[in-house]
Structure 1
Amino acid sequence: MDQKVFINKAEASGIIAFDLWDYKPSIDIIEFDLKELLFMGMIVKEKEFKESISVLDFSIYAGKAVAIICSTDAIIPPWAYMLLMDKLSSYSVYTDIKNSEEILLDLWKKNLQSASMEQYKDLKVVVKARSETAPALYLLATQLLKPYVKSLMYGEIGLPKVIFKN
């Protein structure tokens, strides 16, 4: 009786998967809308703005990233951001004037940049394809991996698209 031996060609190829989602930040990101602190939702009046900030409970931002936005088309003076940051800095771990998606991307990039890529030295690496991953992350992954890898690919181990070979 003949026994067929199946060879896993993907495993035999020596290709290593690199999943960008392993570097996705797990921190909660909360949007802080300045509109709620504006007079009539449109105007920054110093006295009212300071009073509005003084009654807020900033402890809800403890250990979180804060995305400062303004959902109305108001002109916000720089001192208003400074007052807000004075209160947030005791609680939030990251704050910026961006929406939550932009903050997530920034933190994701930081995680990638702080990771050691030396473990991929002289290896064949495929960056896992995911449609929900921002293209900027693929760009950064290529930049970070290129000095180390023998070859870089995109897609899945079984059918990768070759980006370059050294």
Structure 2
Amino acid sequence: MSEEFEIKNKVANSGLVNFDITDLYPKGKRLGIDIKDFLWEGMILKEKDFREKIANIDAEVYRDAYVYIYCSEDVIIPLWAYFLITSKVTDPAKKVVFGNREDLEVLLMHNAIQTYDFSELRDKRVLVKGCSDESIPNNAYVELVEQLKPLVKSLMFGEACSNVPIFKN
């Protein structure tokens, strides 16, 4: 085939580095513990009953899981109750947080971004992939820009064929 009719992959030859934030997404099961399930009539924390119910938790259920502790009822929960639940499941779990599932995801992605070594992207033209199969919290993209801006030559968002320029250094 002559060079005149040769098909060239301009994206591959552009020096653009594709970065998929889902590569940072921590894999593993997510499990919630609703404190309401440990309350008398779902409304009142009776210490003796509460302690018995916590003692009966099968902590192995939470092995290697990301756990979030929350209360789906609008009741007053003493702070020590969170301590007690956390102490029961923290050893087998990968991570335990207070809050809902979204709070857990924000924290996990924050930790992943803060500990990732972005040095391989220094002075590169970086395209952050726009679509993913995982539900990535918006805050993760904000933190990603904070990490990349001082390092990269340029930053774009989307797909190679239709991206949004974010900045150029």
Alignment TM-score, normalising by the size of structure 2: 0.91
How far does residue 105 in structure 1 lie from its aligned partner after superposition?
A: 2.5
1:89 shift after superposition: 2.2
- Cα distance in 2 for residues equivalent to 1:133 and 1:37: 31
In structure 1, C-alpha distance between the alignment counterparts of 2:48 and 2:11, rounded to whole Å: 66
Corresponding residue SS for 2:67:
strand
Cα displacement (A) at 1:146: 1.1
1:139 paired with 2:142, answer: yes
- After TM superposition, the runs of 4+ consecutive aligned structure 1 residues lying more than 3 A away are none
Residue 163 of structure 2 aligns to a residue in which SS? strand
One-letter amino acid of the counterpart of residue 92, structure 1: A
Q: How much does 1:88 deviate?
A: 1.6
- Report the AA paired with residue 77 of structure 1: P
Show the counterpart of 1:38: 39
CA distance in 2, matches of 1:13, 1:117: 20
Change (3 A) 1:136 1:32: same
Hey, what does 2:90 align to over in structure 1?
89
Specify the SS of the correspondent of 1:9.
coil
2:105, 2:137 within 8 Å by CA — same for their partners in 1?
no
How many angstroms apart in 1 are the aligned matches of 2:165 and 2:56? 57
Shift of 1:133: 3.3
Q: Which runs of 5+ in 2 are unaligned?
A: none
TM-score by length of 1: 0.92
CA distance in 2, matches of 1:116, 1:159: 27
* Matching of residue 127 in structure 1 with residue 128 in structure 2: yes
1:15-164, aligned counterparts within 5 Å?
A: 15-130=16-131, 132-164=135-167
Identity of aligned residues (%): 36
Whether contact under 8 Å (1:121, 1:150) holds in the other structure is: yes
| Helix, strand or coil at the partner of 1:101 | helix
Query: In the TM superposition, what whole-angstrom CA distance separates every residue of 1:24-82 from its partner, at most 9, and x where no partner exists?
Result: 11021100111111011001111111111122211211221111011111110011111
Question: Which amino acid letter does the alignment assign opposite residue 8 of structure 2?
Answer: I
Shift of 1:104: 2.1
Contact 1:15 1:124 in 2 (8 A): yes
Tell me, what secondary structure is at the counterpart of 2:69? strand
Classify the secondary structure of the residue corresponding to 2:109. helix
Q: Distance in 1 between matches of 2:56 and 2:167?
A: 57
Find the aligned partners of 1:73 and 1:22 in 2 and give their Cα distance: 37
